[in-house]
Amino acid sequence: MTNYVIEPPAVVAVPVAGGGMFPVRRVFCVGRNYAAHAREMGHDPDREEPFFFMKPADALVINGADMPYPTRTSDLHHEMELVVALGSGGVDIPEAEAERHIWGYAAGLDMTRRDLQGEAKKAGRPWDMGKGFDFSAPIGEIAPATQSGHPSAGVIELTVNGKPRQSSDLSKLIWSVPETIAYLSGLVALAAGDLIFTGTPEGVAAVVRGDVLEGSVAGIGTVRTRIV
Ligand code: MN
């Protein structure tokens, strides 16, 4: 037995629709992957290569649990996203082979301390504390790709307290899921257990304590959390 000097951290795992748990290794996120969202954030979507940031695996909020309103912000934003769950990985994965590495898909929320992210952008500093904070990644059940297939189109939407806030279609992703996997695997070796949040469509806005967020991705599933 390994002589750990402290208790090793628990494995973070996301429930799978139909049973079982998907153990999470890392959480990658794609920035500005829908043109209308890139524009609402003040950027030209036509000129950018994909770029990535990360959240720690234990930022995931599962089973519809409440999300505590985070510290040090007064501008907590929702970003509704399709999440890809990898069953295997590799380096320089060709786009045509990318789907083979996908175990399943989920609906997720890339919650963002927009004020801290804005300050970091202005100062040329990392986004980590605007993006990768505790409870920043609510996620629904993972749908196995063997059942869902690999969606390249379908409605992605979010309501807050029952009112529509974000609504778009997966066909509007600037970088498709296979293109994203191919590109990211050129930067790091992807591995089983990795999640990729694929970016949010337009309509991001602030939430406050008491708000109930309910998102869905057609053919994949739902995500729900209440801000407390
Ligand atoms: Mn995002």
Euclidean distance between CA atoms 93 and 97, whole angstroms: 7
Euclidean distance between CA atoms 92 and 87, whole angstroms: 16
What's the pLDDT at 218?
A: 98
* Distance from the alpha carbon of residue 13 to the mean position of ligand 1, in angstroms: 21
What's the pLDDT at 46?
A: 82
Joined together, the tokens standing for residue 35 give: 């043109």
What's the pLDDT at 73?
A: 98
Q: Which of 67, 152, 140 is nearest to 102 (CA)?
A: 152
* Distance from the alpha carbon of residue 172 to the mean position of ligand 1, in angstroms: 15
Confidence of residue 228 (pLDDT cuts 50, 70, 90): very high
Find out whether 141 and 148 touch, Cβ atoms under 8 Å.
no
Whether 128 has a pLDDT exceeding 80, the answer reads yes
The average confidence (pLDDT) of the chain is 97
Confidence of residue 220 (pLDDT cuts 50, 70, 90): very high
Encode pLDDT of 147-159 as tens digits: 999 999 999 999 9
* Distance from the alpha carbon of residue 23 to the mean position of ligand 1, in angstroms: 22
What's the pLDDT at 48?
A: 84
What's the pLDDT at 160?
A: 98
Euclidean distance between CA atoms 162 and 226, whole angstroms: 12
Euclidean distance between CA atoms 110 and 137, whole angstroms: 5
Which pairing describes strands 112-113 and 52-55: parallel, antiparallel, or unpaired?
unpaired
* Distance from the alpha carbon of residue 31 to the mean position of ligand 1, in angstroms: 6
Whether 33 has a pLDDT exceeding 80, the answer reads yes
Joined together, the tokens standing for residue 1 give: 């037995």
Residue 203: count other Cβ atoms within 10 Å of its Cβ: 19
* Distance from the alpha carbon of residue 137 to the mean position of ligand 1, in angstroms: 10
Query: Amino acid identity, residue 226?
Result: R
* Distance from the alpha carbon of residue 100 to the mean position of ligand 1, in angstroms: 24
* Distance from the alpha carbon of residue 86 to the mean position of ligand 1, in angstroms: 18
* Distance from the alpha carbon of residue 79 to the mean position of ligand 1, in angstroms: 5
Euclidean distance between CA atoms 93 and 182, whole angstroms: 5
Q: Which of 225, 208, 193 is nearest to 83 (CA)?
A: 193
Q: Which residues line ion ligand 1, judged by CB < 5 Å?
A: 79, 110, 200
Mean pLDDT of 47-62: 94
Euclidean distance between CA atoms 150 and 177, whole angstroms: 9
Taking CA atoms, 10 is separated from 6, 87, 140, in Å, by 12, 20, 20
* Distance from the alpha carbon of residue 57 to the mean position of ligand 1, in angstroms: 15
Encode pLDDT of 35-53 as tens digits: 999 999 999 888 789 999 9
Mean pLDDT of 221-228: 98
At which residue do the structure tokens 């090793």 appear?
8
* Distance from the alpha carbon of residue 68 to the mean position of ligand 1, in angstroms: 19
Joined together, the tokens standing for residue 101 give: 């590495």
* Distance from the alpha carbon of residue 74 to the mean position of ligand 1, in angstroms: 18
Encode pLDDT of 183-211 as tens digits: 999 999 999 999 999 999 999 999 999 99
